[in-house]
Amino acid sequence: MEKEVEQLVEMGATPAQARAALKQYRDVMQAAEQIFDGKFDHVLDDEVDQDGDVQMASSERAAAPPKARMITPNDDDDDDDDDDGGREDDSDDGSMEDFADYDSDDDVHQSAAVCAPSVDPYAGIFFSKDRREEVIEVEEEPQIVLIPEANMEVPLMTQGQWMKGCPEGSEQSFLFSLYRELSDGECKCPNGCDTSIQRKKSNFFALFPDFQGYIEHVQGLVQQTCPSCSKTYCFACGEPASIDQNRETSNTEQDLALFHCPHLQGVILGVGLAMLEKMFVDETRDVPLDKVKKPRTSSKRRKVDLPALFGGSKYYDDDEDSDGHHTPTASKKKAKLGIGYAGDIREDTTGQIEAQAIQRERDDRLAQMLKQIRVFLPSLHRPGGGRTSDYLVHPTTLAHLRRRFNFVGSQLLRNDSLADMSERSVLYFELLEWLETISCHEALASMMAMPIMVVSSIKPISPKKGSPRGSPAIRERTIIYEGSSGPRELLEAIVIQAQAAVKGLESTKAPEVPPDEMTEEQKRMTIDDKGKARAAEAAASEENTKLLSFCKRILSTAKAIDRSLAETKGEAFVERLHAALPKIPRSTGDAEVVQVDAGDTEESAMKAYLEWANRVRFEYCDLTIPRPERGADDEDVLPHYKFYYSNEARMLANSDIPKRSLAIAKELAVLTTNLPVAWNSSVFLRVDETRVDVIKALITGPEGTPYYNGCYLFDIFLGPSYNTSPPNVKYMTTGGGKFRFNPNLYADGKVCLSLLGTWSGPGWIAGKSTLLQVLVSIQSMILCEEPYLNEPGWASSAGTAESRSYSANVRRMVVKIAMLGMLKNSPEPFEEVIRTHFRLKARSIMQQLDRWLAEDDGKPTTADGANLPKSASGSNNGFAADVAELKTLLQQLQAGEGAGSS
């Protein structure tokens, strides 16, 4: 047992922890995993006897305050000191508080189970994003070495690179231990002949230009033959290598040696994912493909260029942006075209085809590397059955996936364009394969729900004085990591888009009707235009089929992941995971009504408002008018809609226009997750559950404008030529067709916007402009700070008395119609949205009303602000009465008494 204790101490455990763990877990690696997951942090050196029995409990031991941990121990110190120091920090900082023991089978948080028995072994230890970890990371200049068999000079992965991006204390210990073991020291023959072979850093940590070159290099050295006894053993773990060459496998016999032990799995995944991360960063930074080194065949010695592997003109500089750390930003988005008045710029499509070809080439390279690395992921379902490394997963595997794969995967999953994903399906299909493979293995499945730790800030540490000249350049930085959405949560945003796209493609599709038999005269007729039309429809249908297939693959992957998680982690695990995922109700009736509390402060009200608005901004609902009882002979079976464009919608019932269906599907995919919501102004959308071209929008007025906090309703119809032509939009908050709120919002509901073709200026760009652009244009350019300036010829009148008077008149109309009127007679289907909006913002709105009342000029309200009187009449304009009534309704809402009309 003492030998096992020594091994655990070398990994960073204390002797007491080692004995206690080995008493419970006979396997050294399992004991190490439990120790570094914090299960034995309460055990002190004087609490365990030589037999491993705990003498006294120490659960009340005081915890030291969190402090920055060194992610890379100093190479000049003794190994024992490094490990002990690492563990001391790990036990003090509490970094694994929310993640302890979620991968063990039978002993998961036994203490929690004793206190509160549950069928869910993960109860009480789920995954909080409210984490913040601070570590010190070290970077050093890589060494260049010659690889004789490849006739190539390559850089070696430094310890800082190997451990970069890992904020978890226990994972750091495992990473450090594996790096030290495989980069230095002797590998003894396991057959007792006392012969050993010296390991070098270049054996396992050489950074080749491509992953396949690295694999061939490792293949050539992993099976070593002892020079004394001539027996073969694994150069990674030092154990006898017995390879069954007759075993069924899709790989070569030599490949089987790469699955011999967990050590190989850990180092191959670590190096491979580091190479993948570097390739991905090169792509997102738009590094030209001709600058990225590719494998060549030549007898001349080759040297891998450092900029190609590490980015920039040199690896070390003083620019903090070139530190190799990556913050979670949304993946590259196409630059938005202009909206409203700013979009009259002809798009330059020069080079677009070339850019798309370059993107496809990059995606192919990334997908190929992902596929090559995926072979080495632990999987019990590989052809021929699982291998040694599939059952004995190295502790560093999860660390590699959480920091490197999660970085690449999260960037791709944050793509808000389903259409772009579909065009890059080669890459995204491979990403889905990774997620499914990870979810199928019990040792990795928890990662799907674990928050991704991302860099929030980087602070350089001043270099120590007196560093010897000629020594490698080294710099230290304090990195602060914070929790963000985990892989399954990020995937859910894509699932929501895919569900919307499927609904858009299927709900506008006409039912299949058998074609009528053609007459002889019809058969003889051949019209070229019909042939061309059919060809265009076939092309559109093919694109629809491609998008539909991609969406269904996304949905099936999400179901497969949840099924695997249920099998490996339990149903309760999946239920709790789903409770935290973003949701889009299938219909308003299905939405769970939750009473949102505004709290006692404006800060709490803001937080509650944002959480609520994000949940209800997009919903499906029934916008049809209930049909009266009719006779059996009534042939009018088409529904009518609570909608200005009801007749137009009825005319397109059961139409099959593939190009339009595709445009609507893409539009819905974006709208489900990208509608702007904020305390200052939000956009809410309701889409008919059977006719996704029938849409209602509610926009709340932006702060700093005379429209602030008012509610403005719009009816939207996506016509037969959408999106070759813009949607039909009608403004409905007009007080029964009496009030004109803006020079661009007529009392009859007309919306003047060049994007809609109802005003001169930059127009709709077929296939490019979107409904989201229209909504944002109305929100920001029509509901603006000085609406007087929107009138033709008045654009130079900013700040004038006329402009101020116009805004005052708008404020009176807003209080009367867009606030008081909307509360007393809330339009369907936004009744609950309007009431909740005013209830959560009641305190803020009452303060706003006081300001508006003090700023009012006393003039009478006119339905059309263009004909305002020159001066105040001196009579009561009714504004004070409207404000008083609105305040009363707001107070009733706060008290939970409702505010609807009797």
Q: Which residues contact 783 (CB under 8 A, 6 or more apart)?
A: 681, 699, 701, 702, 705, 707, 712, 742
Q: Using CB atoms within 10 A of its CB, is residue 523 exposed (0-12), middle (13-18) or buried (19+)?
A: exposed
Q: Which of 193, 226, 229, 752 is catalytic?
A: 752
Give the helix ranges, DSSP H, for 513-601.
520-524, 528-569, 571-579
Alpha-carbon distances, residue 190 vs 177, 243, 252, 462 (angstroms)? 20, 16, 26, 46
Alpha-carbon distances, residue 422 vs 418, 528, 894 (angstroms)? 6, 33, 47
**What is the Cα–Cα distance from 94 to 255, expressed in whole angstroms?**
41
Q: Which residues contact 281 (CB under 8 A, 6 or more apart)?
A: 311, 326
**What is the Cα–Cα distance from 410 to 624, expressed in whole angstroms?**
40
Q: Using the structure block, give the residue that is written with the tokens 């999660």.
A: 406
The residue count of the chain comes to 902
DSSP string, 213-253: HHHHHHHHHHEEE-TTT--EEETTT-SB----TTS--SS-H
Backbone angles phi, psi at 75, to 5 degrees: -65, -25
Rounded to the nearest 5 degrees, what angle is found at the Cα of 380, between the Cα atoms of 376 and 384? Answer: 85
Is the CB of residue 99 less than 8 Å from the CB of residue 38?
Answer: no
- Computed on alpha carbons and rounded to an integer, the radius of gyration of the chain in Å comes to 33
3-class state of residue 128 by DSSP: coil
Alpha-carbon distances, residue 392 vs 209, 259, 262, 827 (angstroms)? 29, 10, 6, 61
**What is the Cα–Cα distance from 76 to 85, expressed in whole angstroms?**
14
3-class state of residue 711 by DSSP: strand
Question: 3-state SS string over 96-116?
Answer: CCCCCCCCCCCCCCHHHHHHC
752 carries an active-site annotation:
yes
Residue 741, Cα to own-chain centre: how many angstroms?
Answer: 39
H or E element, residue 697: strand 694-700
**What is the Cα–Cα distance from 675 to 60, expressed in whole angstroms?**
49
Torsion over CA of 557, 563, 567 and 569, rounded to 10 degrees? 80
Is the CB of residue 43 less than 8 Å from the CB of residue 59?
Answer: no
H or E element, residue 371: helix 352-374
**What is the Cα–Cα distance from 484 to 486, expressed in whole angstroms?**
6
**What is the Cα–Cα distance from 319 to 711, expressed in whole angstroms?**
48
Residue 811, Cα to own-chain centre: how many angstroms?
Answer: 40
Both structure tokens of 226? 């002892």
Q: Using CB atoms within 10 A of its CB, is residue 864 exposed (0-12), middle (13-18) or buried (19+)?
A: middle
Q: Whose CA is closest to 650, among 625, 685, 618?
A: 625
**What is the Cα–Cα distance from 160 to 310, expressed in whole angstroms?**
13
Q: Whose CA is closest to 611, among 600, 601, 597?
A: 597
Asked if residue 723 has a cis previous peptide bond (ω within 30° of 0), the answer is: yes
Angle at which helices 528-569 and 487-507 cross, to 10°: 150
| Active site amino acids | 752
